[in-house]
Amino acid sequence: MGEALNLMVADLIREPLLRAQITGCTFRRTKNGEDRSIPLSPRAALLACNWDSTSQSAFQHAFRAVAPAGITPHTLRHSYVTRALAAGVPLAVVAALVGHRSYRTTARYAHLSAKDCLTQLQKHGMM
């Protein structure tokens, strides 16, 4: 999660024609040595609009504002992977978004329930 903690306002990606509209962010100096750009949800983009350039870290500022006690950035990473896979987002897409080179690493982050698995099987006509 070091990459998220280093996220700065300058790393936000803005719509070229509407500079005020934030569409994503770029993580720099990631663990695997490559920069990675990801889209932001409308809610995350709205929060990002309130970050100011004097913040030590845009992510730290936003995280402290909304995170319940005991929730860490790494907890959110596991939750994100689990929710994305449970919603049917392909493993390759989730791995790319979280910056994993190996699908095995992404799979270790997933905590799918039996209900999640059954839902996906039904969705794809396998049950």
For 54-77, what is each residue's pLDDT tens digit? 555 666 767 777 788 888 878 888
Classified as helix, coil or strand, 29 is coil
Among positive and negative, which fits the CA dihedral 45, 49, 98, 96?
positive
The Cα 125–Cα 19 span in angstroms is 44
Tokens, residue 39: 């889209």
For 20, 38, 39, 86, 102, the CA distances from 71, given in Å and listed in that order, are 30, 22, 23, 21, 26
The Cα 115–Cα 117 span in angstroms is 5
% of the chain at pLDDT higher than 90:
23
Q: Return the residue matching tokens 């994503």.
A: 24
**pLDDT tens figures, 10-47:** 888 888 776 678 888 898 878 888 899 999 888 888 87
For residue 111, pLDDT over 60 is answered with yes
The Cα 101–Cα 105 span in angstroms is 8
Say if CB 42 and CB 105 are below 8 A apart.
Answer: no
